[in-house]
Amino acid sequence: MLCLVTGATGYIGGRLAPRLLDAGHDVRCLSRSAGRLRDVPWSGRVEVVEGDLFDPDALRRAMAGVDVAYFLIHSLGRPDFEARDREAATVFAAAARDAGVGRIVYLGGPEPDPDDKPSAHLRSRAEVGRILLDSGVPTAVLRAPVIIGSGSASFEMLRYLTERLPAMVTPRWVSNRIQPIAVRDVLRYLIGAATLRPEVSRGFDIGGADVLTYAEMMQRYARVAGLPRRIIVPVRLLSPWLSAHWVGLITPVPNSIARPLVGSLIHEAVAHENDLAELLGGPAPLGFDESVRLALGKIRDADVETRWTSAAGRDAAAEPLPSDPDWSGGSIYVDERSRPVSAPPERLWRVIEGVGGENGWYSFPLAWSVRGWLDRLAGGVGLRRGRRDRDRLRVGEALDWWRVEEIEPGELLRLRAEMRVPGRAWLEMRAEATPEGGSVYRQRAIFLPRGLAGHLYWASVLPFHGIVFNGMARNITRTAETSDGERPVPAGASGGGA
């Protein structure tokens, strides 16, 4: 089948397109900027039509010959999102009908109890679903509650609130029941909905294996993330409006997005039927804890290059994508430095591979020693392990309080910290050749905080980074430039040198 995916640069669309391809379908994407899809790994496998839903020519080209059209866009974050989405759905429905599209698939939100006054967000989602169902084209409207996956705005709110607040006074909606669903299950249902019989045109509730209150979700998130149990005190004073500003203050999720999402949490979001799962068959949906583990990368080892998660056993659906907003994916602190080196990359590499142990760390030896002793007092390994070989390193071996995680000979050394810190840390050093015969030294220190203690730890050591890491970069490059091709003597290894 030929599938049209709108919103291919969005959270769901960017994950759906490659899975449709893997399922054997042809995929066409409608995007306002084709350049935003240029760097995704599946860009060469899809057809891209540049334009938006309000461009009649682009929409006509996008719909031509399409079997299934996915409506995955919304204007959340704009003050006029209700009117904008109403117009977009109306135009999309008419174009699909005129082009003879076989099916429309839409991902919406849960429908609140008719006796409740629905939030603007849920009211808009329901209205869009009705417009598409009235199009005359067979339509499947999937009603999803909180989606669990890195990059989902609802999940990011949960993540940041739980990680940053060991104790919190919360609004009363934290006692409302929710049936969260893993993003991988949402994608599976979206792909399966394309195969429904033509006479099936209706809405479907979808949800995960667990029904929890929001407070229970925060506690179970904390447990999976290895955080202490949170102290949660619900009060009646925090209105949805105040709650949204509170979320905006604590989390990096923009207030324009947090406000309608928080407004929706005043309604319970529990599936009233399981018809789509029964029609499609397949595995049971994941439970909350496993969904969070996938989103956090808890079932994988760390790897800095893929947002610090490795390919082994990964669930890419739950991981961040380059097209996700900057505030998604959790907090990541980076100290990044680079310096030009007149020496060739081979000589710079010898310095990089020689760090640690008796060779030293090229900057402020006293600070390294004190940090090592503090780590030992806290029950860590400190600096006492040294290194096995004075000149060579191997993947997996210990190096002082680091573990060698990755080596690309002549180019990259990546170390994973095994010191006692409230989070996970890496140090990465690179040697890059330049056309002039010299090289560039690149250095990154990366820290993924765990809980409020992790953020406070990074803030406490930040004033010393300019001394330690800047001195390290300067002395490594200086040593590479002044060595004569033999094993270099570290600058500052046994003195000041910072």
Mention every residue, 6+ apart, whose C-beta is less than 8 A from residue 276.
Answer: 140, 142, 189, 192, 193, 204, 205, 206
Q: Which two tokens mark 452?
A: 């409020």
Backbone angles phi, psi at 301, to 5 degrees: -80, 165
Tokens of 118: 């629905």
* The predicted structure's pLDDT at residue 327: 56
CB contact at 8 A, 431 and 411 = yes
Closest listed residue to residue 8, CA positions, set 324, 328, 254, 329:
324
Looking at residue 47, what is its pLDDT?
Answer: 94
Q: What is the pLDDT of residue 492?
A: 46
CATH topology of domain 2-303: Rossmann fold (3.40.50)
What residue type is 320 in one-letter code? P
Instruction: Pick the closest to residue 5 from 63, 86, 78, 90 (CA basis).
Output: 63
Task: Decide: 238 and 170 in contact? Cβ < 8 Å.
Answer: yes
Query: Three-class SS of residue 2?
Result: strand
Identity of the amino acid at 9: T
How do strand 103-108 and strand 68-71 relate by DSSP bridges?
parallel
Q: What is the C-alpha separation between 471 and 367, in angstroms, rounded?
A: 12
Which tokens is 358 given?
């008796």
Cross-sheet strand order for the sheet of 333-341? 333-341, 439-449, 423-433, 412-417, 402-408, 398-399
User: In which residue are the tokens 């006029």 written?
Assistant: 80
Query: What pLDDT is recorded for position 11?
Result: 87
Q: What is the pLDDT of residue 475?
A: 93
Residue 164 CA, distance from chain mean position: 17
Entry pTM: 0.71
CATH architecture of 333-482: 2-Layer Sandwich (3.30)
Q: Are 50 and 31 in contact (CB under 8 A)?
A: yes
Q: Kindly tell me the number of DSSP H helices and DSSP E strands found in the chain.
A: 14, 19
Task: Provide the Cα torsion 218, 219, 221, 224; round to 10°.
Answer: 170
Backbone angles phi, psi at 122, to 5 degrees: -70, -35
- Report the C-alpha dihedral over residues 201, 203, 208, 214, rounded to 10 degrees: 170
Q: What is the pLDDT along the chain (498 residues), one digit of tens a residue?
A: 999 999 888 889 999 999 999 999 999 999 887 777 877 888 889 999 998 888 888 899 999 999 999 999 888 777 888 999 999 999 999 999 999 999 999 999 988 776 677 788 888 999 999 999 999 999 999 999 999 998 888 898 888 888 888 888 887 778 889 999 999 999 999 999 999 999 999 999 999 999 999 999 999 999 999 899 999 888 776 666 666 666 766 777 776 777 777 777 778 889 999 999 999 998 999 999 999 999 887 543 333 333 333 333 345 555 555 556 555 566 788 899 999 999 999 999 999 999 988 888 888 776 666 776 676 676 666 666 778 887 889 998 888 888 899 999 999 999 998 888 888 889 999 999 999 999 999 999 999 888 788 888 888 888 888 888 899 999 999 999 987 655 555 544 433 333
Strand ranges inside 325-479, DSSP E: 333-341, 398-399, 402-408, 412-417, 423-433, 439-449
Query: Domain limits of the chain?
Result: 2-303, 333-482
CA 186/CA 318 separation, integer angstroms? 11
CA distance 221 to 202: 34
